[in-house]
Amino acid sequence: MGVVNVTPDSFSDGGRWFTTSSAVAHGLQLLADGADLLDVGGESTRPNAPRVPVDEELSRVLPVVRELVAHGATVSVDTTRAVVAQQAVDAGALLVNDVSGGLADPEMAALVARTGVAYVAMHWRGHADVMDAHDRYDDVVADVLAELRTRLAELRAAGVRDEQVVLDPGLGFAKAGASNWPLLAHLDVLQAEGFPVLVGASRKRFLGHLLAGPDGTPAPPDERDGATAAISALAAAAGAWAVRVHEARGSADAVRVAAAWRAARGGGKDGIGHDDVHDETVGGPR
Ligand code: PMM
């Protein structure tokens, strides 16, 4: 999943693809570099980012979704707002990527049920301005799993079918540093729920800290793509359904390495590279 941030302020690529034409060109480059689908977002989720008015989010996202769909791309929309999700789906998006797992907008679950669209439910504890204060866990893997199960129960109660759902541990969201590694190391716990799993580690802060120089200065976002690709390989080897990345070439190669590695171990077809990414319903139990 290649990231197309139509924002002036995302932490890793803020402002670079802010016009419709530059965002579309970037999306097409991600596809050429090996991405299977494009995640278009108009609201930055970097720590402490302010909320974007809904009209602004719509005017950023919709023209880009329309044009990428017209180019034949499989498009997801990265939004926590049901009204944005609805209009993006009307414009041809096949997947709604909601970093709040339905918590931010009480209308979201009903919209997902009504449209039948594929839906990423990510682990989340609050908007970007407050999320760092929520980085407190007894056992981060067990707590994230329990909170995702609550999201699932609410989605089901609203009529969302399991086949629509993809789960995401929400790396970096209410997880400033050390909390991310147990989640990556125990992706199997999330996988055991039986849903496809999406992993979004790309260029995140915990990688900057991991790659810090001798004086402790974190590596800048654009120097985190090698580490991102390494995580893509590990996630794919663990059977993840997709990785969400800013730079597609390295991760596409990493995923192919993992697929060959899994095949040599006698692993199944599930996981990244499985062809259902182009189906309208991508989620659900396996
Ligand atoms: N991370 C970001 C944005 N959207 N969506 C999902 N499903 N998972 C993620 O980990 C995720 C996401 C933040 O990264 P960005 O600001 O560079 O897009």
Tell how far the Cα of 200 is from the centroid of ligand 1, in angstroms. Answer: 6
Taking the whole predicted model, whether its pTM rises above 0.75 is answered as yes
pLDDT for 280: 45
Q: Which of 1, 97, 190 to mutate to test the pocket of ligand 1 (most atoms within 8 A of CB)?
A: 97
Domains of the chain: 2-264 (3.20.20.20)
Of 7-16, 114-123, 195-204, the range with the lowest mean pLDDT is 7-16
Q: Which residues sit with their C-beta closer than 6 Å to ligand 1? A: 3, 5, 10-12, 41, 44-46, 78, 97, 99, 120, 122, 168, 170-171, 198, 200, 244
Q: What percent of the chain has pLDDT over 90?
A: 80
Check if the beta carbon of residue 84 is closer than 8 Å to that of residue 57.
Answer: yes
pLDDT for 285: 52
- Axis-axis angle for helices 108-115, 82-90 (nearest 10): 20
The tens digit of pLDDT for each residue in 85-104 reads 999 999 999 999 999 999 99
Q: Which of 1, 80, 99, 125 to mutate to test the pocket of ligand 1 (most atoms within 8 A of CB)?
A: 99
